[in-house]
Structures are given as structure tokens and as C-alpha cells.
Amino acid sequence: MKKSVAVYLAVVLVLYASSLSANAQDKAVAHVYAELDYSEQRALVEYLDRSGCDVVLHDPKVMSWNSSFSQIVLTLMVRGIRIQPPEACVSCQLAHQTWEELLRDNAVPLVGYFYDGRLAAMTLGITDLGIIKEALSSNGESMEIFTRNSRYTLSNESVRAKLEGLLQEEKGVRIGASNVVWPLTLLAVADSINPCTFAAYTALLLISLNLLGRKRTALTGLSFILAVFLSYLALGIGLIYLFAEIPYIDKMLAVFGLAIGAYSILRGIRPELKSLVPKPVGKKIDSLIRRTYVSPLTSFLLGVFVSFTLLPCSSGPYIVGLGLISTLGSQAYRYLLLVLYNVIFIAPLIVILLSIVLFKQYAYRIKILRSRRLGAMELSTGLLLVIISTYILLT
């Protein structure tokens, strides 16, 4: 059983890693100057992400005359590419705006589409997804430029090379699964050491071990773990779809994570503070444990019940993690990362089950260790949650 669990975890992680690497090789890269405060520009970035592009986001507000953004637009204008509407009066606009503001109003969002390291197309001031799709399909043999007024073909290789350098020299925020993996992994680790689920689970295993023996205890434990895994997975899928419709949900949930993390730290320092789980719920779980060890089916139902009733105690890291996952446009990445999170979450439960079933003498040591380290577990969970929530807010 130990070998099969290890093989399962290895397969999941290998498939996840290979998917990331394969997509990283095949995907186009889009360098985007956009203002996400505007819904149309935010929708453009989300569309590019969903289309499989590796999106690098630049902020056009942070620029000067010598910035890469200004130099890109000026380089195109010198080549005869018009960014203003035909009826626009440049001198009239400059009477009320700075030159940088004029460029930003007419050329943002600006997107450079790279394939195999070459700049294949650019769009300026366009949020029409039909035109964006056309730019994405450019083959890269010659550089296509789309503006609000027209479509141009740029064949000058030296100008193309200059534009490539300008787009790539300025650092931007890379949007995609690679930015989410490590904070999500730490959140899953923080969630996996949460003492709430541990308490119900270890009590169930100890009762089963005393009354049913090792084999039945193994079935009881596995059914409980399966129930927790499937319940969390189902909850995650539902919440991801909900969160994806809310702008800046990752930032809002990071604030929620800070509050929950701070309370967990206080609970770790002062265990006498009231638990977030109401006492009647705790008593109900205790009574159910004493009745549900008798069969895998009843322990499965207990796992489902525990997963949802203990959410006030254990949901902090998961909610913040789901907020991060929901910002990804790719459905495949969302599901892969959701499975990864839940595999990490149940990993300690599997370790406890193996320890108790294979080494019966460690059963009560695990119970004693959990009781003694309750404060440390709360403190560790809270610290990790605060660190990751702060990181999300600052980036």
C-alpha cells in the first residue's frame, strides 16, 4: 500500500511537471502594456492567457519619454504607422496632454506577440478579440501590425530586431501557472498541518485499530482520506468558477488570509483562545467518530461531514489558494493545480495512516505528539498564511 501511494503521487507530479514544460515550449509569449483598471483591457489579458499565451504584463502608467513603451510607439510612427484616428489633430491634443499621455491614450493596450523568440505581430489600442485572434494566428514570416485604423506589414528586419529588444528589455510581471505554483504549494503545506482534521482523523484511526485490527483500520483510514480529497476537490471546483468572475479576487482573499493567519498565530501563542469551530459541531463530530469506525462507507460519510463542518477552522489557506488559481485563464492549469494542492493536503493523513497501520506501537505516540504540538501547528499554519497573503498583496 505504501508503494502504491508513492507511485500515485509520483505519477501526478510527473504529469503536472511535464504538462507545464510542454506548454512552456509550445506557447507563444505576449508582452502586454495594459491598464487592468479598465474591464476591456483586463478581458484582453485574460483572453490571451486562456489562449495559451505566456503573458508578460507591463504597466504603461510607469513610463517616461525614454521608456521602452514610448520608444516602441515612436519607432512605429517613424515607419509611417499611424496610431491616431484619421480625424485626430495631434497639435490640438498636445495642447491639453503631454506627449506620453497622447501615446498612452492611442496605443494602449499595446501587445507584442512572440513565436520561437521572434516578434510576429503587434496590436496597438485594440481590444477587439477578433483582431487579437487574427494577430495570434500570424505565422511570423513577416511582422504584422494592427492599429485602430489599419493593418500594416513590416519587413525591415533591423526595425523588427529593435522592437524585439525594446519589448524584452523591460521587466514585467509574468502571468501564468509558474507564478502561482510555489505560493500555492506553501499554502497547501500550511493547510495540511492544520490540527482540526488531524484531531478527528487520529481519533477515528485509534478507535478502529483497537476494535477492528490493522486491515479494517487501513480501509477506514483510506475511505476517510478519499472523502476529504473528493470533498475538497468538489468545493474547490465550485469556488474557482465563482471567484473567476470577481475582479481582484486574489487580493481580496489575501486580506481574508491575513486575518485568519493572524488569528491562527494568536491561537498558537495562546491556545486558550476560542476555536473558530462552534462547540456543538465539535461534540457532534466526536459522537460520530465513535459510531462510524465500523465500516468504510460510514467513515467516508464522516470524512465528507468533517470536510465541510470544519471549514471555519481549516479553510483559510484553501480559500486564498483558490483565489490564486481562479486568476489563471487556462482550465487545464486550474485543474492541475487544484489536484496538486489536494494531494499535498492529504499527504500527512496518508503518512499517519501508514505509521499507525504498519507500526502499531507508534499509534499513541502520534496522538500524544499531536496534543503537545497543537500550538506549534497553529502557529506554523498562521505564519505561512500571513507570509503568502502578504506576498500576494505586494505583487
- The predicted-structure confidence for 112-128, as pLDDT tens digits, reads as follows 999 888 899 999 989 88
Mean pLDDT within 217-229 = 84
Domain contains 378: yes
Choose from 40-49, 336-345, 349-358 the range with maximum mean pLDDT: 336-345
Phi/psi-derived region of residue 176, left when phi > 0, alpha when psi is between -120 and 50, beta in every other case: left
User: Are 199 and 313 members of one domain?
Assistant: yes
If one compares 219 and 2, the residue with the highest pLDDT of the two is 219
Which of 121, 155, 175 represents a domain boundary (last residue)?
175
Q: How far apart are CA 265 and CA 160, in angstroms?
A: 54
Domain contains 40: yes
Note the pLDDT of residue 249: 81
CA-CA-CA-CA dihedral for 352, 355, 357, 359, to nearest 10: -160
Question: Residues 242-259: pLDDT tens digits?
Answer: 887 777 787 888 888 888
pLDDT at 294 over 70: no
User: Are 301 and 344 members of one domain?
Assistant: yes
Mean pLDDT within 75-89 = 78
118-124 and 110-115 beta bridge pairing: antiparallel
pLDDT at 212 over 70: no
Q: How far apart are CA 395 and CA 384, in angstroms?
A: 17
Choose from 101-105, 158-162, 302-306, 391-395 the range with maximum mean pLDDT: 158-162
Q: What percent of the chain has pLDDT over 90?
A: 8
Which of 175, 198, 233 represents a domain boundary (last residue)?
175
pLDDT at 70 over 60: yes
Which of 155, 175, 195 represents a domain boundary (last residue)?
175
Domain contains 90: yes
User: Are 221 and 335 members of one domain?
Assistant: yes
pLDDT at 340 over 50: yes
User: Are 245 and 351 members of one domain?
Assistant: yes
Domain contains 13: no
Side chain identity, residue 125: G
CB 388 within 8 A of CB 183: yes
Domain contains 373: yes
Note the pLDDT of residue 117: 81
User: Are 228 and 166 members of one domain?
Assistant: no
User: Are 145 and 225 members of one domain?
Assistant: no
User: Are 267 and 369 members of one domain?
Assistant: yes
How many domains are contained in the chain? 2
Note the pLDDT of residue 113: 92
User: Are 121 and 244 members of one domain?
Assistant: no
User: Are 53 and 181 members of one domain?
Assistant: no
Choose from 144-158, 294-308, 321-335, 357-371 the range with maximum mean pLDDT: 144-158
Domain contains 285: yes
Note the pLDDT of residue 202: 67
Note the pLDDT of residue 123: 93
CB 359 within 8 A of CB 209: no
User: Are 211 and 126 members of one domain?
Assistant: no
Domain contains 9: no
Can you name the residues that pair with 54 across neighbouring β-strands? 29
Domain contains 80: yes
Residues spanned by the domain of 47: 27-175
User: Are 79 and 122 members of one domain?
Assistant: yes
Choose from 194-203, 283-292, 343-352 the range with maximum mean pLDDT: 343-352
Owner of C-alpha cell 469506525: 293
**145 band by pLDDT with thresholds 50, 70 and 90:** very high
User: Are 241 and 264 members of one domain?
Assistant: yes
